[in-house]
């Protein structure tokens, strides 16, 4: 079973710990505030009150053997950087860290932290992308240049097969899933909408008006398709 440690039990750290536990992972939750440690005691595998700048304390809980450590301390850069340095020294293979600024991210990256997360920037970008178009339901940047985006089916895609659309050549994107809803009746006789996701659809699959598609591509290409869809909608 995968084992992780989360250092810093603010809202960010607790959310990560909770989600990891729900997905079946073992989680060691760490904070230097006993109250925070108490808050998570009931649902994590192990909760420990210690100062993450104390190398001996981290070695004592065998932190070097977990699959990844999340440093969820954003505000105090000194503590975050020192914690990362100690984890590197101990030999932790994978470190991810919450950051509060670009400078903080740069320092940690130089120190070998594999992934830095700027939660406000991350969520801010996603919200802005959702606001920009009524067609976009989720917008997830998977690298600096690429995104996975869930959009409603553009009107000029309706009742066409993926083969006819040839989106890879025409728009430089790929459709990786089709989400559809089908009206049906449940065991109690209620009318309900059944959600179905067709992952990796085939060339013969046809898109319907009420469907949503999940596309992957370069940000520019994804944005270009969304813009064309918006423009056509306004003209209809």
Q: Which is nearer to ligand ATP, 99 or 165 (CB)?
A: 99
Would you call 5 exposed, middle or buried from its count of C-beta atoms within 10 A (0-12, 13-18, 19+)?
buried
Q: Tell me how far apart the alpha carbons of residues 19 and 14 are, in angstroms, rounded to a whole number.
A: 8
Judge residue 61's burial from the number of C-beta atoms within 10 Å of its C-beta, 0-12 exposed, 13-18 middle, 19 or more buried.
Answer: middle
Taking the least distance from each CB to ligand ATP, the nearer of 9 and 214 is 9
Total residues binding ligand ATP (CB under 6 A) = 21
Give yes or no for residue 12 binding ligand ATP (CB under 6 A). Answer: yes
Using CB under 6 A, which of 5, 44, 66, 79 touches ligand ATP? 79
Residue 63 · residue 28 · CB < 8 Å: yes
Q: How far apart are CA 61 and CA 80, in angstroms?
A: 19
Site for ligand ATP in 94-123 (CB under 6 A): none
- Helices assigned H by DSSP within the chain: 11-22, 34-40, 55-60, 77-90, 102-110, 119-132, 162-165, 167-171, 219-235
Measured from the CB atom, is 79 or 225 closer to ligand ATP? 79
Q: Is 38 in the site for ligand ATP (CB under 6 A)?
A: no
Smallest distance, ligand ATP to C-beta of residue 33, A: 4
Q: Which residue's beta carbon is nearest to the bound ligand ATP?
A: 10
Does residue 73 bind ligand ATP (CB under 6 A)? yes
Query: Distances from the Cα of 196 to the Cαs of 162, 180, 215, in angstroms?
Result: 18, 5, 16
29 binds ligand ATP (CB under 6 A): no
Confirm or reject binding of residue 76 to ligand ATP (CB under 6 A): yes
Q: CA-to-CA distance for 16 and 98, rounded, in angstroms?
A: 11
**Least CB distance to ligand ATP at residue 51 (A):** 5
53 binds ligand ATP, rule: CB under 6 A: yes
- Binding of ligand ATP at residue 36 (CB under 6 A)? yes
**Of the candidate residues 74, 154, 201, 217, the single one contacting ligand ATP (CB under 6 A):** 74
Integer Rg of the chain from CA = 23
- CA torsion through residues 152, 157, 161, 163, sign: negative
Among 34, 38, 62, 75, binds ligand ATP (CB under 6 A): 75
Which residue's CB is nearer to ligand ATP, number 48 or number 225?
48
The least distance separating ligand ATP from the CB of residue 74, rounded to whole angstroms, comes to 4
Interface residues with ligand ATP (CB under 6 A) are 7-13, 30-33, 36, 51-53, 72-76, 79
């Amino acid at each position: 079973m995968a084992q992780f440690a989360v250092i810093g039990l603010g809202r960010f750290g607790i959310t990560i710990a909770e989600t990891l536990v729900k997905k079946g992972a073992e989680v060691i939750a760490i904070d230097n505030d006993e109250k925070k440690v108490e808050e998570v005691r009931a649902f994590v595998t192990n909760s420990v009150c210690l100062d993450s700048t104390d190398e001996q304390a981290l070695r004592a809980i065998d932190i070097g053997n977990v699959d990844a450590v999340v440093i969820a301390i954003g505000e105090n850069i000194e503590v975050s950087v020192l914690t990362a340095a100690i984890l590197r020294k101990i030999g932790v293979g994978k470190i991810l860290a919450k950051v509060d600024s670009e400078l903080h991210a740069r320092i940690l990256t130089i120190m070998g932290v594999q992934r830095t997360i700027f939660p406000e920037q991350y969520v801010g970008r996603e919200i802005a992308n959702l606001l920009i178009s009524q067609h976009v339901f989720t917008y997830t940047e998977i690298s600096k240049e690429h995104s996975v985006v869930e959009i409603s089916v553009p009107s000029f895609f309706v009742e066409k097969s993926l083969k006819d659309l040839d989106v890879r050549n025409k728009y430089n994107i790929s459709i990786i899933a089709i989400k559809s809803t089908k009206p049906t009746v449940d065991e109690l006789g209620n009318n309900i909408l059944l959600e179905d996701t067709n992952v990796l659809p085939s060339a013969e699959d046809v898109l319907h008006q009420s469907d949503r598609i999940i596309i992957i591509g370069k940000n520019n290409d994804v944005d270009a398709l969304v813009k064309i869809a918006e423009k056509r909608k306004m003209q209809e």
